[in-house]
Structures are given as C-alpha cells and as structure tokens.
Amino acid sequence: MNTETNNIGKVALVFGGSRGIGAAAVRRLSRDGFSVGLTYVSRHDSAQDVVDAVVADGGQAFAVQADSADATAIRTAVEKVAAHFGRLDVVVVNAGILRLGLVDTFTLADLDQVLQVNIRGVYLAIQAAVAHMGEKGSVITIGSNSAVRPLVPIGTVYGMSKAAVAAMIKGLALDLAPRNIRVNNIQPGPIETDMTAEHIEHIKDLVPLGRVGKTQDVAELISYLAGASSRYMTGSSLTIDGGMTL
C-alpha cells in the first residue's frame, strides 16, 4: 500500500462512505495513510465491503450506521470513530439525497427531507466533527455543480441545497481559521455510480471533455484537500465537471 508518510497516524471520517464517491474517498484516503471511519444509512453489506477492501490493502477502516437526517446519530457516529481511532483530523461530508420535481409538483415531504439532509445534516456533521479536532485539520463537503447554475428544470431544490453548502463553508472557514482547520467544498458534475447508471450515457454529450466523471476523479481532489499540499486553501468551492458549467 502506497501511503503519504505525513498522514500516518491521522484519522479521516467519511459521511456516506459505503458507495459511490464516498467509497472511493475511503479507499483513497486509506492509501494516503489515514485510518478511515465511514458512515452508512442502511447498506451494511456495502459498508462492510469497503472496510474489507481497505483492510485487504493494508489499511484500517471502521463503519458506523448513521442517518444524516438524525442529529443524535450524526453526533454518535463522530464520537464512535474518534473513540475507536483516538483522534480525528479530516472529515468528508458526502452524505446527501437527490429529489427532483417541478415547483408545482414538488411535495413538502421531499422539500423537508432534502433540506434536512443536504443542509442541516451537513452543518451538524461538521459541528460534531470539529469538536473532536485539534488545532489543525481539514473539512471537505461534497456539493454539486448544480450550485453554479441550474442544469435541468426539475433540479431546483437539489441545486438550492448545494448552493447553501457552498455559502455555508465560507462562513465556517472564518469560524475555524483561528484553529487552522480548513473548510473546502467540492462541486462534482455527473459521476458514474450505480445510482446514475441508467441515465449517465445521455449526459456525456453535455460535457466538453466528452465523458462523465469517475468516482476516482473526485477522490483525487478529496485527497488533495485532505493533505498538506492544500494547506493555504480554505473557504473554496472547486467545481469538477469536465467543463460542463463553463
């Protein structure tokens, strides 16, 4: 296993780390030398597969069930990971949900759920995590390029929630700068995962680079923001979408 020696002994926590971008982040951070905790909502089997893959590669991983709509579950997950590994240095808030619909059909239940998970849940995850960080660390949120501009008419609420995250991290960067905890946001475009498999081929023609993203593309950027190479960066939103929102 190739690791960054300056990360050996450090701990990362990935919210929503059992599938897709989150799973790729767990594996990449492990290769970078971090011990990694990850949360999942219901797919214990997927979470265990990620843990097993990390262990097989010589790393350490620990999975905790937590619904990002549940404030107590969020706090408990952070406490369990910090207790298991003895510290916390990096948190990646990847958990989120997608609900689509036009304004005249979007239900109140869907609106409340998106706001609860994609905004409230992100804030609470960061709040809980930084309580266990020292005077140095990195917070990374996973937003969306839909925060830059609307891509489809049915994506208003989702884009709104991700724009709120982009605004949130600027204020949090100021809050946490005295502790040298950096806060940055990644805004992916369409990424090839099991959740997007059905319609991803229809999107690639909209991307100037001619392909949709891979989870590894985003994991590389997470690795950069988690490591020392980005030590002078905070409060930034980085769009990674093959030029889709140019």
**Is residue 158 flagged as an active site residue?**
yes
Residue with tokens 């049915």: 154
Q: Tell me what the mean pLDDT of segment 125-151 comes to.
A: 95
Question: What are the structural domains of the chain?
Answer: 5-240 (3.40.50.720)
Bridge partners (DSSP) listed for residue 137: 181
Q: In whole angstroms, what is the distance from residue 216 CA to residue 220 CA?
A: 6
pLDDT recorded at residue 38: 98
pLDDT band at 5 (very low <50, low <70, confident <90, very high): low
What's the pLDDT tens digit per position in 54-70? 999 999 999 999 999 99
pLDDT band at 95 (very low <50, low <70, confident <90, very high): confident
Number of Cβ within 10 Å of residue 61's Cβ equals: 26
DSSP string, 205-245: GGSTTSSPEEHHHHHHHHHHHHSGGGTT--S-EEEESTTTT
Q: In whole angstroms, what is the distance from residue 175 CA to residue 182 CA?
A: 10
Question: Of 40, 123, 158, 232, which is the active-site residue?
Answer: 158
Task: Tell how strand 191-192 and strand 35-40 pair up.
Answer: unpaired
